[in-house]
């Protein structure tokens, strides 16, 4: 098996490489791909130095899989070219997510939808993944009517330059400003660009992607996305209104039994999810589970996950592992 990692020198690409090694992914040849300035250099994988390829070289190599984390424009241009030579692409950008003919996959939720004909598969937005992991079992049992979510998103979701900005600010040094304001000791209610409706793209991703992944257009989501000076992961305060009555102990049990979720909900001993302790882990952590006292059939909870892992790289690798288990990696060249 030949696997290309497109955007291998970026933050998510680096975690993808780490996970391929950690999870002993069954590849025989790694093809790391990066921008032209990195081509010809090398990176370390499983104790070996591997040369970095150009996009054209990688396409000619006809890998079985291409794991993309290189931004939307690169995905729109090159993902179809990989697909044309028989490669299955799993893309981490927003380029394909809402395309009607492309699957938007969280393996634990809708991995069963994948077929051999799916040559470009979309990986959801990081904040959406952890939200739908919690919503899926609850929607199946109690039927979700409305979700109000406020996010507290790590600067790592913006990339390495955002982390550099925060570190420069903490050192009192001047440097490149990725955000329009300082991020250290601050919160920016501004993730991605603002749209004409007053929401940001990130907020609308939570609304639209949730419906598509759950396969349920009746689940209404309204979001406020906030960037915070945190590295370890994204946090979300979530208020969920159900059609049916529920019992809190049943909610905890249902979530605890859901693969990929870890419930941390013992406030009497100060146990609750935090990004400081979610960093480097693949689970979605849920706590502060309590009834909304202001409205019937409504629940509050707190959700935390490492946005570079389950929110991006881990979910991508899990999709690839599922394709292998289901023998869905065809090798024919598409016309």
Start-to-end CA span in the chain (Å): 22
Domain at 2-124+312-325: CATH code: 3.40.50.720
Query: 71: Cβ–Cβ under 8 A, 6 or more apart, which residues?
Result: 7, 93
Query: 11: Cβ–Cβ under 8 A, 6 or more apart, which residues?
Result: 156, 159, 160, 308
167 exposure class (CB count in 10 Å sphere: 0-12, 13-18, 19+): middle
Q: pTM higher than 0.75 for the full model?
A: yes
Dihedral in degrees, nearest 10, Cα atoms 81, 87, 92, 95 = 30
Closest to 310 in 3D by CA, of 7, 19, 3, 6: 19
Alpha helices in 159-280 (DSSP H): 160-171, 201-214, 248-256, 275-278
- Select which of 112, 126, 187, 190 is catalytic: 126
Helix/strand/coil for 149: strand
Q: How many CB atoms lie within 10 A of CB 205?
A: 24
The angle at the Cα of 185, spanning 227 to 263, to the nearest 5 degrees, equals 55
**Which DSSP state fits 54?**
P
Is there a catalytic annotation at residue 112? no
Q: How far apart are CA 244 and CA 319, in angstroms?
A: 32
Per-residue pLDDT in tens (0 to 9) along the chain, 335 residues? 999 999 999 999 999 999 999 999 999 999 999 998 999 999 999 999 999 999 999 999 999 999 999 999 999 999 999 999 999 999 999 999 999 999 999 999 999 999 999 999 999 999 999 999 999 999 999 999 999 999 999 999 999 999 999 999 999 999 999 999 999 999 999 999 999 999 999 999 999 999 999 999 999 999 999 999 999 999 999 999 999 999 999 999 999 999 999 999 999 999 999 999 999 999 999 999 999 999 999 999 999 999 999 999 999 999 999 999 999 996 543 33
**Which DSSP state fits 96?**
S
Dihedral in degrees, nearest 10, Cα atoms 322, 323, 325, 329 = -170
- What residue ranges of the chain are covered by domains with CATH 3.30.360.10? 127-307
- Select which of 112, 190, 191, 234 is catalytic: 234
Which residue in the block uniquely carries the two structure tokens 């959406």? 128
Q: How far apart are CA 130 and CA 219, in angstroms?
A: 16
Helix/strand/coil for 86: coil
Is there a catalytic annotation at residue 191? no
What's the sign of the alpha-carbon dihedral 307, 310, 315, 318?
A: positive
- What residue ranges of the chain are covered by domains with CATH 3.40.50.720? 2-124+312-325
**Cβ 88 vs Cβ 66: under 8 Å:** yes
Domain at 127-307: CATH code: 3.30.360.10
**Cβ 199 vs Cβ 190: under 8 Å:** no
């Amino acid at each position: 098996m030949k696997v290309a990692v497109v955007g291998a020198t970026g933050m998510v690409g680096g975690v993808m490489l780490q996970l391929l090694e950690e999870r002993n992914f069954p590849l025989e040849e790694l093809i790391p791909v990066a921008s032209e300035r990195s081509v010809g250099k090398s990176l370390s994988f499983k104790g070996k130095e591997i040369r970095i390829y150009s996009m054209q070289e990688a396409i000619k190599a006809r890998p079985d899989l291409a794991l993309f984390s290189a931004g939307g424009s690169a995905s729109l241009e090159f993902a179809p070219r990989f697909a044309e030579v028989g490669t299955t692409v799993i893309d981490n950008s927003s380029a394909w997510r809402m395309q009607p003919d492309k699957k938007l996959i969280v393996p634990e939720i809708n991995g069963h939808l994948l077929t051999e004909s799916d040559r470009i598969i979309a990986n959801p937005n990081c904040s959406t993944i952890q939200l739908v992991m919690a919503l899926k079992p609850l929607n199946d049992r109690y039927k979700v009517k409305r979700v109000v979510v406020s996010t507290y998103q790590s600067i790592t979701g913006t990339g390495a330059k955002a982390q550099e900005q925060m570190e420069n600010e903490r050192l009192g040094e001047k440097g490149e400003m990725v955000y329009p304001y300082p991020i250290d000791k601050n919160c920016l209610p501004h993730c991605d660009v603002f749209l004409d409706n007053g929401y940001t793209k990130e907020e609308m991703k939570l609304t639209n992607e949730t419906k598509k992944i759950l396969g349920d257009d009746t689940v209404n989501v309204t979001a406020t996305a906030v960037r915070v000076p945190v590295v370890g992961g994204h946090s979300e305060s979530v208020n969920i209104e159900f059609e049916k009555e529920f019992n809190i102990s049943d909610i905890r049990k249902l979530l605890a039994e859901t693969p990929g979720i870890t419930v941390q909900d013992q406030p009497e001993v100060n146990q609750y999810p935090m990004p400081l302790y979610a960093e480097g882990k693949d689970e979605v952590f849920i706590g502060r589970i309590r009834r909304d006292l202001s409205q019937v059939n409504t629940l509050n909870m707190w959700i935390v996950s490492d946005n570079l892992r389950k929110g991006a790289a881990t979910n991508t690798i899990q999709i690839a592992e599922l394709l292998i288990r289901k023998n869905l990696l065809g090798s024919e060249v598409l016309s």
